[in-house]
Structure 1
C-alpha cells in the first residue's frame, strides 16, 4: 500500500509519501480501505516532536493520522462477517496509521456511516464532531442565548455555530479574512466579524444593541479571547477548549477566574459518562449529522499532498476539517 511516513521530527516536508507493507488485522480488528483520513492540529505538533497528550513520542518512522473512513475489506479473527463491505469510520485513538490507503482498527471502535454523509464528512464528525459534542455538554443553549464563537470557520467552530443556530440562539462568529467571514455568514451566524480588522468589539456591541453575550466558545486564546470575554454579561461563561493563537507549546489559555472553564480531555470525557465516554460522544456526533443538524465543513487534499495539508492547517489557510483522500 501507499502511506505517508514521518522519518524525522521537523517541518512538513519530512512527511514522505511512499510504499510500505500492508497492515494485517489482528484478532478483533478490521482492515479498512481508506477513502478519507483526518488531519488534526495535534498531528502537526507531533510531527515537530511535541508530545501533546501522548506520554511519549511516536517511534519513527511512523504513519501519522488517527481518524479514518472507508470500506471494510478484511477481517481479523473473531470479527463477524457482516462487517465486510460496510462503509465505516473510526478514531484510532493514540495508535497512528491513518495517512495510508489501508488502516486497521478494532471492530469495537468502528461506526457505520450514515447514508447522508460522505467519507470525508464522516471523518470530520468522528473527530471534530465528537469534540464539539463534548464542548456542548457544558452549557444549555436556547433562544435567550447569545453565543460568540472565535475561529467560527474552523472545524469545531462550524459545528458550534450550526448547533447554536438550531437551538435558537443569537450567534456571533469571528473569523480571519473575508473568505472565511463569508463562510461563517453562510453557515448561519447572525453576525460574522473579521478578527483581523480593527474595531471588531465595537461591531459586535453595535449589533447587540445593549445585549450581552452569554457564552464564548473559545479554542483560540490570545487577544481574540480577551475581547470576546469582555462581551460577556453577568453570569456569562467562557468555555475553553484550546488556545491555538498562542502557538504550539504555549503555556496555556487565557482564563478569567469565576468566568472561564477548561473542558479539555478528561473533563470532557468525565461529563459524557458511560463505560466508553469517547464512543458516546462519537455516536452523538454522528446522530446530529444524520439528522441534518450539523454538517461539517471540509478542506480536502490528496494523500500525496500531506505536507501541503499540514502547512495549510498551520497557517490557518483551511476551512473546517482537513482531510486527506488516497
Structure 2
C-alpha cells in the first residue's frame, strides 16, 4: 500500500511517501480503506521527537496519523460481520497508522459515518469536534453571552463560533489576516478582527461599548501569549477564561495583572484532560464526546472547515500547520 512513513525524528521533510505492507486486522479489529486521515498539531510534535501528552514516542519507522475515515474492507477474527462494507470513522488514540491507504482499528472504537457527511468532515468531528464539545461543557452559552474566540479560523475556533451563534451568543472572532477574518465572519461572527493589527483590542472595545457591554463573558483561549494577555483585559467582571492551548506561549502576566483578574472575579479553567472527561461522564467519556460531535454535524448545526492535502503531500501539510498557514482541520486524502 501507499503510506507516509517517518524513519527519523526531525523536520517535516522526514515524512516520506513510500510503499509498505498492507496491515492485517487482528482479533476484534477491522481494516479500513482510508478516504481521509486527520493531521493534528500533536502529530507535528511527535514527528519532531517531542511526545507532549502522548505516553511515549512511537517506535521508528512509523506511519503517523491517529484519525481516519473510510470503508471497512476486511475483518479480523471474531469481529462482527455487520461492519463489513460500512463507512466508518475512528480515532486511533495514541496508536499511529493513519497516513496510509489502509489502517487497522479496534471495532469497538468505530462510529458509522452519518449520511451526508463525507470522510474528511467525519475525521474533523471525531477529533477536533469531540474536543470542541468537551470545551463547551465549561461554558453555558446563551443570548446574554459574549464569546471572544482567538484562532477563530482554526478547526476548533470555527466550530466554537458556529456553536456560540447557534446558542444566541454575541461572537467576537480573532484571526490572523483578511482571509481568516472573512472565514470567521462567514461562520457567523458578529465581529471578526485581525489580531495581527496591533490596534485590534481598541476595535473590540469599541464594539463592546456599542453593545453596551462591559466586556466579553467568556474567552476561549487556545493561543496564550500576548494575544491572550490583551484579550483578558477585554473580559467583563465574573467572566470565564477557558484555556486549551498555548500556541503563542505562556500568557505574560505580572503580579498587577493577576491582582486585576482576581479583583474582577475572572475564573481560569484548564479544560483539557481529566477535567474534560469528568464533565463528559459515562463509562467511556471520550466516546460520549465523539458521538455528540458527530450528531451535531449530522444535524447540520456544526460544519467543520477543512484544508485538504493529497496523502503524498503530508510534509507540506505539516509545514503549513506549524506556521499557521492553514484554515480549519487539515486532512490528508489518499
Q: Retained in 2: the 8 A contact 1:121–1:298?
A: yes
In structure 2, the residue matched to 1:321 is 329
Deviation string 1:67-119 (CA, Å, 9 cap, x unpaired) is: 00000000111111111111100000010000000001111101001112110
Deviation at 1:254, TM superposition (A): 6.3
In structure 2, the residue matched to 1:178 is 178
Change in CA separation of 1:70 and 1:187 when aligned onto 2, cut-off 3 Å = same
Deviation string 1:120-173 (CA, Å, 9 cap, x unpaired) is: 000000000000000000111000000000000000000000000000000000
What is the aligned-residue RMSD (CA, Å)?
1.1
1:243 aligns with 2:251: no
Partner of residue 308 from structure 2, selected from 297, 300, 309: 300
1:111 aligns with 2:119: no
In structure 2, what is the Cα distance between the partners aligned to 1:138 and 1:181? 25
In structure 2, what is the Cα distance between the partners aligned to 1:119 and 1:129? 14
In structure 2, what is the Cα distance between the partners aligned to 1:266 and 1:59? 26
Deviation string 1:278-307 (CA, Å, 9 cap, x unpaired) is: 000000000110111100000000000000
Deviation at 1:260, TM superposition (A): 1.2
Partner of residue 221 from structure 1, selected from 221, 224, 242: 224
Change in CA separation of 1:156 and 1:254 when aligned onto 2, cut-off 3 Å = farther
Deviation at 1:253, TM superposition (A): 5.6
In structure 2, the residue matched to 1:261 is 269
Structure 2, unmatched stretches of 5+, are none
Deviation string 1:166-196 (CA, Å, 9 cap, x unpaired) is: 0000000000010001000001000000000
Any idea what SS the aligned residue of 1:45 has? Answer: helix
Over 4 Å off, 4+ runs: 252-258
Aligned residues: 321
In structure 1, the residue matched to 2:89 is 89
In structure 2, what is the Cα distance between the partners aligned to 1:129 and 1:56? 25
Structure 1, unmatched stretches of 5+, are 247-251
Deviation string 1:7-51 (CA, Å, 9 cap, x unpaired) is: 001100000001111111011111100000000001001111111
Deviation at 1:56, TM superposition (A): 2.0
